[in-house]
Each structure stands twice: as C-alpha cells, then as structure tokens.
Structure 1
Amino acid sequence: MGIDRAVTEFFADHRSAHLTDLMWSVTWLGNASTLHWAMIGLAATTLVLGRPFQAAAVVVGMVGASDISGSIKDLVGRDRPGSEFRAGDALSSYAFPSGHTMGMTVLVGLVLMVAWRSLRTDRARRTAVGLGAVVVLAVGLSRIYLGYHWLTDVLAGLCFGLLWIATVVASARGVKLQWAAAAERGWSEVPATVPVRQYLS
C-alpha cells in the first residue's frame, strides 16, 4: 500500500542516533521474552490476590495472542520492509500483523483487568487507560521507525489485540459467574446447557 511505504520512508529518512536508541528500548517492551516474563509476573500477582480466574485469563490471553499472531503471519505471508528501511538485522518471520503491538495490547488490557478493582475513581481509570494506550502506541511506532513493520501491520496488531483481549476478559467473567452461580445453588442444580443469566436473574 502507498501509505505503508510513505510512512516507512518518512521514518527511515528522519532517524537520529539518540532517537534510534530510544526506539530500541521501547520495542524491547514488546519482545517475546519481555512479554513472557510479564505474563508470569502478572499471573503470579493475581494468584497471590486470590483471583484464579484472572490468572487463567492472563495465561490464556498472552499465550493465545502469540499463537494467533504467528498463525496469521504464516497465513498472510506478508514480507517485512526491505533492508534499506531496517535499523537492525533481518527477521525470518512475516510482517502481518505486528506481534509486538498485539502482545502489548493484550498485556495492557490484562493489567487493566487486574488493576480495575483498585482504580476506584473515573479519573484514575481514565489515566490508567491513557497510559496504557501510550505504551501500546509507542511500541507500535517503534516497530515502524526501526523498519520491521509497515503501518498496516501495526494497525492490524492493535485491532487483533483488542478483539482478543475483549474475548478473553468476557470469557473469564462468564466462567467466573457460572462457577459462582453453581457454588451458590449446588453443583448438581446447574445444568451446563442452561445460561447462567437464568440463575442470576
């Protein structure tokens, strides 16, 4: 796409040593190893807080994001920007979508899920969402700046990440409600085929 090349060329033509160093630091936040350890830390935190459903959501969310991103990359098979745009070594994986962006989007969403109960005011919640958005956008921007992704790769990573985190959070909440209803009424009284809303109404 024309916009992809135009954006990539703009950043390649306006690099500086200091800004490039900064972007390498930012992009490190979305590296697979960084996200892996963040997942472990967040899952452990939720277990300490006594929230097993959230712990499961963290693991499913992060592992699923990696698997989904990799599967779409292989399915689409889109090449990354050429060596004339890259600020570092070549990568063997495909470009679409940006795994860094998708992974960071999901991680930020999971952090917000865990922290939401402690953010008691609308101002605190808006601030947390705003800071999370800045981190995600910074990681996505770093991927374009460093020449590893096109703009549409990053936008796709953001969209897929938002869809996946919404699915994970909604599913975790639904399972938790089913377990709560079953525990309250007795496990034998809750057929698996009956919607949980019927028991909560």
Structure 2
Amino acid sequence: MRELSLRLLSVWIICILFTGFFAYIARSIHLQTISSFDEPIIDFVQSAESKGLTSLMKLFTTIGSTTSVALLAILTLSVLLWKKHRAQAVLFAIALAGTGILNQVLKFIFKRERPNFHRLIDIGGYSFPSGHTMMAFSLYTILAYIVWRNLKTAGSRIAITILAVFMIMMIAVSRIYLGVHFPSDIVGGALASSVFLFGVILIYQRFQRQK
C-alpha cells in the first residue's frame, strides 16, 4: 500500500510539473519571447531538407493525420472488444477522444497562428498546441501501455516502448520539418497530452483495483 501511495504521489507531482511547464510555454508565446527557443530548432531541422526526406516526413505526417488515427483507433477498439478487454477498450476510447477535445479547446483558447515561412504543405487552423503531436502521443502511449500489460517478457516490453517513442518523435519532427508547427507547439502538445493521459491511466488503475 505504501509503495502504491508513493507511486501515485510521484505521478501527481509529475503532472503538476508538466502543467507548470505548459503554462510557462503558453505565457512565453503570449509575451512573444519564445522565438529564441523556436528559431534555432526550426533552422536545424529544415537545414536537412532533401527530396527523399521531404517524402518521408510527409509520410509520417499522413500517419499522424486524423484519418489515419481514426482508422487505427477503430482497428484497435475492434481487437480489444473481440478479445473481451472491455475496460481497456474504454480506456483507449476515452484517451483518444479526450485528447482530441482537449486539443481543440486549447487551440481555441490560444489561437496561435502557424509559421508563415518555408512551408512545404498547405494547412489551416491554429498552431498551439500541435494536434498531430497530442494525438500521436496519446495514441502510441496508450497502445504501448495496453500492449505492455499483456506482454510477459522484458524484451518485448522494451521493443514496444521504443516503437511508440519512435513513432511519436517522427510525427512530431515531421510537423517542424514541413513548416506547419513551431517546436514550442510540439513541446506544448506533448506536455498537455501527458498530463491528460497520466490522469486517465491513474483513474483506470484505481477502477481496476476496486474491481
């Protein structure tokens, strides 16, 4: 019981810290003091531009699109329900739906315009926080969490974790490379998703223990 309480306390502390970091980034955007963080990263990422890399980044940004996420979500939910993992299916659905709603609310609140220089694809909407990053973070993190709980070996658990991190990072970097997001949009999106996701998982674990 004591170990469990310490774990819960640690997660809540992390959530508070991440919320503080998100608030700091949002304030820096409002005060227009974030450019010293954004510009060097944009220059570094876009300096690697090539025809092949552009095609690869467009592929990852397509993988992170609403359509692709929806298709993967439907497939995952179908498998979970078929396997009779109803609680995990509910967890998965709440994580993704909640992340999507949270992203739209935050975009409406901050209304940050997208970068207007060296854009390789056309896209509308507001910039902060990155919707692709938030959805990728929630999708692949919750997938890794569910699969991790059903795997038995350490090697397979490490592999699924590495794959999830790789997909999140590539989708996030593709948005900077293609010129449709600032790096601070990416960091803000990851922080917002992590806080929401940690909270959802904590509630799920508590429900499972009570059950």
TM-score class normalised by the smaller sequence: 0.7 to 0.9
Unmatched runs of 5 consecutive residues or more in structure 1: 181-201
Q: Could you say what secondary structure the match of 1:23 adopts?
A: helix
TM-score by length of 1: 0.82
Which aligned pairs between 1:29-178 and structure 2 lie closer than 5 A? 29-82=63-116, 84-89=117-122, 91-178=123-210
Opposite residue 208 of structure 2, the aligned amino acid is K
Rg larger in structure: 1
Letter in 2 for 1:31: S
Partners of 1:117 and 1:62 in 2: how far apart? 19
Q: CA deviation at 1:123?
A: 2.4
Contact 1:113–1:169 at 8 Å: present in 2 too?
no
Tell me the amino acid that sits aligned with residue 21 of structure 1: S
Structure 1 letter corresponding to 2:120? A
Deviation, 1:13, is 4.0
Of the three residues 45, 57, 60, the one matched with 1:23 is 57
Letter in 2 for 1:132: A
What stretches of structure 2 of length at least 5 have no aligned partner?
1-34
Question: Between Structure 1 and Structure 2, how many residues are aligned?
Answer: 177
Root-mean-square deviation (CA, aligned residues, Å) is: 1.4
C-alpha deviation, 1:7, in angstroms: 2.1
Q: Deviations over 1:123-170 (max 9, x none)?
A: 221221111101100100000000010011111111112222212222
For CA contacts below 8 A with separation 6 or more, give which structure has more relative contact order. Answer: 2
Q: Percent of aligned pairs with the same residue?
A: 26
**TM-score, normalised by the number of residues in structure 2:** 0.79
Q: Distance in 2 between matches of 1:68 and 1:112?
A: 21
Separation (CA, whole Å) in 2 of partners of 1:55 and 1:32: 19
Amino acid at match of 2:150: S
Contact 1:9–1:85 under 8 Å retained in 2: no
Query: What SS is found at the alignment partner of 1:94?
Result: coil
Distance 1:105 1:45 in 2: 20
SS of equivalent residue, structure 1 residue 50? coil
